Structure 1
Amino acid sequence: MPPSKPRSPAPLYEQIRQLIVAALAAGEWRPGDALPSEAALAQRFGASPGTVRRAMDELAAEHIVERRQGSGTFVPTHAAPRQQFRFLRLVADDEAEGFTRELLGCRRLRASAEVARALGLRTSEPVIEVRRLLHRRGRPVVLDELWLAERHFEGLTAEVMARHPGTLYALFETRFGVHMVRAEEKLRAVAATPEAAQLLQVSPGEPLLSVERLAFTYGDRPVELRRGLYYTSSDHYRNELN
């Protein structure tokens, strides 16, 4: 179990924030669970309720915990309807329905130098590569390629993904105990290659939005590298700046 008393020179609220993150990473509270009250946490860490509240404020601002009015504080889960597409920012210009998924492939291979560097792996360490299409309005709008360290997702197969009705991040939570808490993205415009054009049903050379995402779990540990090509003729990519 993670230590229950702060032991570093950092401000006390930051020490408590780190201890709560360590407890989450160790699985003491699972996605969807309610956290103890601030009074209970204050007793656990030997701190004032105000100090614990500040630590919880920091965690809520980072989306590591979720406050629900009148209910308490919870560990967010990608299985919840409001969280399912938290990291997918392609928004319909009309009232189109959500996405359907088409799996193109799932295979085990050795990490390239680029993938290994992004995920903090040894070069040639085993990774799982997933390719899929996301459809909306009966046509493909996103071509996704993603890489995951096999050591964290051992047993992930096309059959496992086909049987899971929800999002990949919800599957990662429930089956592999890996919860994505934040992501970094790089966006740029690219021209559709012949292969991408065929899969997305566009002309070769047509402009697409390229989104490269590195997703992190607790402790700022990178666990997924994803590259997506977005067809945005009837959609836009939304970002909120706070």
Structure 2
Amino acid sequence: MDPALADGLSGPWVLVWLTVMVVLDGFIPPVPSEIALVAAGSLAVEGRMSAVVLVLLGTLGSWLSDIGVYLLFRHRMTGFLDRTGWGRQTHRTVRRVVERFGASSTYGAIIGVRFLAGGRLAASATAGVGEVPMRRFAGAAAIGGFLWSLWHVALGYVTGRATGLPFWTSAVIGTGVGVAVGLTVAAVVAVRHRRAAERAELHHPEAIPPENGPETP
């Protein structure tokens, strides 16, 4: 790697940028914080970064954004969001993820759903709406953020260590593996959610609103 590029990629500003990306990703899922963490994990193989520091910063950024989303929805402070394109996109993302995987404010969901696309936002939002106690949510979000950050940093680190390829190549491979795993898990969860909904409709058809009924605002 070119020395000038290596020095730039290992500077302290990169860690700040990475943390900001993770925070933004909690509010705006298209922000590619997962890819950034995988790439940073690949750089850690070359000694340019500390894998431990990367995991800690990823955990901190994830936790801060989770708390922010939780508070917005817990205190019903989302009205102003619909005035902006970002806010409308946020609400659409939450609805889309909840419709596909189900709405749950259990601690297992708070920890696990974040590994699905848009899951961090949906889990924090539904926990806020469901009025999960702040202290318990913060604890579950911290555990989930740590596991999420560890997974992505480890993907880059292990791939870089196993292949010995340049960091950007290892990052691409690690990201591909992560996407494949995520898609597989998402498919399994979506199928299970659909089957559960079908069983509920079969046993309690009166609980299913009519197809042409009035829409809930």
TM-score (norm 1): 0.26
Q: With structure 2 as the length reference, what TM-score do the two structures score?
A: 0.28
More helix by share: 2
More strand by share: 1
